[in-house]
């Protein structure tokens, strides 16, 4: 009887060691890293969104005739902030792509707004505008870093989910884990700009 218990215990310890060697917790760890990176992406987009009203008001005081550009910025921000992100946004290609497009519209509208500001020397020398422009540039850099970190986290997670032995472990222990979406470059951004003199 004691020998039987000893064998059962030895077998249990053996399988425990084998499972720990397979890194059973790797996928949940990578999944949490993806979620944390996504939260940072959202945080930086929110930071940018919070800067927009002050920037628009500052420009509005100097560039009354640029109402179209100001309206585009406000509308792009409104569209992006009104989007309800589904819980499965990271594994839902359609929702993820819609989110990405909304953020790209804000980037485009802000780019046009800053380009318009170049035509107004008084605006370009306004301390409030300069501070907002600097904050916006810093935020755009933070967005780029957050997106890069998210892309790397998704790459690690998706690779683990698609390769063995993690693929087997996922199918047995974590069947609800799905491949995550990542950012893409728009067709327009991929085109080489044409320079004409």
pLDDT means per 10 residues, the chain with 197 residues, are 77 67 86 97 96 92 85 94 95 96 95 89 89 95 97 97 92 94 73 50
**The predicted structure's pLDDT at residue 194:** 53
Q: Residue 151: which residues within 8 A CB-CB, separation 6 or more?
A: 182, 183
pTM for this model (two decimals): 0.84
Q: Give the pLDDT confidence score for residue 11 in this predicted structure.
A: 76
What pLDDT sits at residue 178? 96
**What is the structure's pLDDT at 19?**
59
* Backbone CA torsion sign across 100, 81, 31, 90: negative
Domain boundaries in the chain?
44-184
**What number of residues does the chain have?**
197
Neighbouring residues of 171: CB distance < 8 A, sequence distance ≥ 6: none
Token pair listed for 191: 């085109």
Q: How far apart are CA 75 and CA 139, in angstroms?
A: 20
Q: How far apart are alpha carbons 141 and 47 in whole angstroms? A: 12
CATH 1.20.1440.20 fits 44-184, yes or no: yes
Q: What is the pLDDT of residue 197?
A: 44
């Amino acid at each position: 009887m004691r020998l039987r218990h000893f064998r059962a215990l030895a077998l249990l310890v053996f399988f425990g060691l084998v499972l720990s060697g397979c890194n059973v917790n790797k996928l949940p760890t990578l999944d949490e890293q993806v979620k944390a990176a996504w939260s940072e992406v959202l945080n930086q987009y929110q930071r940018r969104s919070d800067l927009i009203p002050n920037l628009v008001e500052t420009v509005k005081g100097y560039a009354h005739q640029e109402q179209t550009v100001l309206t585009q910025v406000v509308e792009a921000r409104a569209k992006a902030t009104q989007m309800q992100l589904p819980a499965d946004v990271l594994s839902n290609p359609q929702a993820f792509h819609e989110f990405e497009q909304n953020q790209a519209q804000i980037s485009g509208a802000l780019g046009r707004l800053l380009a318009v500001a170049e035509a107004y020397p008084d605006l370009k020398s306004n301390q409030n505008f300069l501070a907002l422009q600097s904050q916006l540039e810093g935020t755009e850099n933070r967005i780029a870093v957050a997106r890069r970190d998210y892309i790397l986290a998704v790459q690690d997670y998706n690779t683990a989910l698609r390769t063995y032995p993690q693929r087997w472990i996922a199918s047995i222990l974590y069947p609800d884990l799905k491949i995550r979406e990542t950012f893409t470059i728009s067709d327009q951004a991929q085109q080489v700009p044409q320079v004409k003199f």
